[in-house]
């Protein structure tokens, strides 16, 4: 009898294991990899080509000390210019700025964080360092050996190869681009290490249509952001209409955050953070984390704004109404609540009204202002807020 019982439980266990994801492909498809938009830090917006091992370690320490790690900022992503030469076997090495990438990864992991790295499907990165062209599996294996958890894969010089091999044939070039990303996707899967795959190709060929097919956990929908209200707002508000393409494990990426880099006002940075949260966009800080003032911290660390971005439903928000420079956006949340953002893109303070019926509510609505942290109580029909120039009022509405 005991042997029969053991046999029964063995069969039961085998059945359970058979149902569980057994490969990186199944792991990615299950939605557990980037189940919510990735959060973390990227070196490029502030440090660009100057980034060093010491800068990354300082960012790691600041993420822990400031509470950013505990708020959900997990990925520490090194952008371009870390690359050295290839050795005699063709393996990529890091340069003198990063003397020991494995040791750096170990340090990142020891702090409860994850390491991200950068490459290109072309022979050169955007900054002219070695890309992964012809070495895709070698590079993926190296990243896995080092302990990398995230790869940003930037089109860069591969565009030249596309034009050279398919001159004048745009469709063929797009097919080549998709194949290049799929090639690295397969290489990452072959490492048997879960590595978030970030496609950086500026939205070409409506990437939201094919990004998931080539293994993208996120894909850039636009050109590069910079630390200006005009560029940030053009990129952010142009995401209208893309919500149906986002889902757990696969996110539209309007580029990294500029909060704290100093060329926007606090109201403009709150607009930046609110819009990215409504968009269920990746939240990758791009400032010097070791030198943050209280305002920057309060924006990046606003737990209610982060909760909107990271909501477990994984639904991207969208524009509900726009009248001139005044826009209302809404994001459905778990439990039937809605995040609603009132944006003032004009040059002066202005009252903006949200009609609750437009948000899918009838009867009494409970409201909370997520930037002031104030409970607005129960409201009927509508709510009007004075919104500052280039500013936002971010609300959480529930029955």
Which residues are marked as active site? 154, 224
Would you tell me how many other CB atoms lie within 10 Å of the CB of residue 234?
A: 13
The two beta strands, 283-285 and 39-42, are: parallel
The three-class DSSP label of residue 55 is helix
Which residue, 253, 278, 269, 330, is CA-closest to 40?
253
Q: What's the alpha-carbon Rg for the chain, to the nearest Å?
A: 23
- Which residue's structure tokens are 């704290």? 260
β-pair partners for 117:
151
10 Å CB burial of residue 15 (0-12, 13-18, 19+) is exposed
The tokens of 111 are what? 């702090």
Helix (H) or strand (E) holding 354: strand 350-355
Contacts of 200 (CB under 8 A, 6+ apart): 152, 153, 154, 155, 219, 220
The tokens of 322 are what? 């726009």
The alpha carbon torsion through 134, 192, 312, 239 (nearest 10 deg) reads 0
């Amino acid at each position: 009898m005991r042997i029969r019982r053991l046999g029964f439980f063995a069969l039961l266990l085998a059945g359970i294991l058979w149902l569980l994801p057994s490969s990186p492909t199944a792991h990615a498809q299950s939605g557990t990899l980037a189940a919510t938009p990735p959060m973390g830090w990227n070196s490029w917006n502030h440090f660009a080509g100057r980034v060093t091992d010491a800068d990354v370690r300082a960012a790691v320490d600041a993420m822990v000390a400031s509470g950013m790690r505990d708020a959900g900022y997990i990925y520490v992503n090194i952008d371009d210019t870390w690359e050295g030469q290839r050795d005699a076997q063709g393996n990529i090495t890091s340069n003198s700025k990063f003397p020991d990438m494995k040791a750096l990864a170990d340090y990142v992991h020891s702090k409860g964080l994850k390491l991200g790295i950068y490459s290109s499907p072309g022979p050169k990165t955007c900054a002219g360092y070695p890309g992964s062209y012809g070495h895709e599996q070698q590079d993926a294996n190296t990243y896995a050996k080092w302990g990398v958890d995230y790869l940003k894969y930037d089109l860069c010089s591969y565009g030249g190869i596309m034009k050279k091999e398919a001159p004048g044939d745009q469709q063929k070039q797009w097919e080549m681009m998709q194949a290049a990303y799929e090639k690295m996707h397969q290489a990452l899967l072959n490492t048997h290490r879960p590595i978030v795959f970030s496609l950086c190709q500026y939205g070409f060929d409506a990437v939201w249509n094919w990004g998931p097919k080539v293994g993208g956990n996120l894909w850039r929908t636009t050109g590069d952001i910079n630390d200006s209200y005009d560029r940030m707002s053009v990129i952010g508000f142009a995401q209208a209409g893309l919500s149906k393409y986002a889902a757990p494990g696969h996110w539209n990426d309007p580029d990294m955050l500029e909060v704290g880099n100093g060329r926007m006002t606090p109201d403009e940075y709150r607009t930046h953070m609110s819009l990215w949260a409504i968009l269920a966009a990746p939240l990758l800080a791009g400032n010097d984390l070791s030198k943050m003032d209280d305002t920057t911290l309060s924006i990046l660390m606003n737990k209610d704004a982060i909760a909107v971005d990271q909501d477990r439903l994984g639904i991207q928000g969208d524009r509900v109404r726009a009248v001139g420079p005044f826009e209302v956006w809404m994001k459905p949340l778990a439990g039937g609540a809605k995040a609603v953002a009132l944006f003032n893109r004009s040059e002066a303070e202005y009252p903006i009204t949200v009609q609750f019926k437009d948000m899918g509510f009838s009867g009494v609505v409970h409201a909370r202002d997520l930037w002031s942290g104030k409970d607005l109580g129960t409201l009927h029909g509508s709510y009007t807020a004075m919104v500052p120039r280039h500013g936002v009022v971010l609300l959480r509405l529930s029955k």
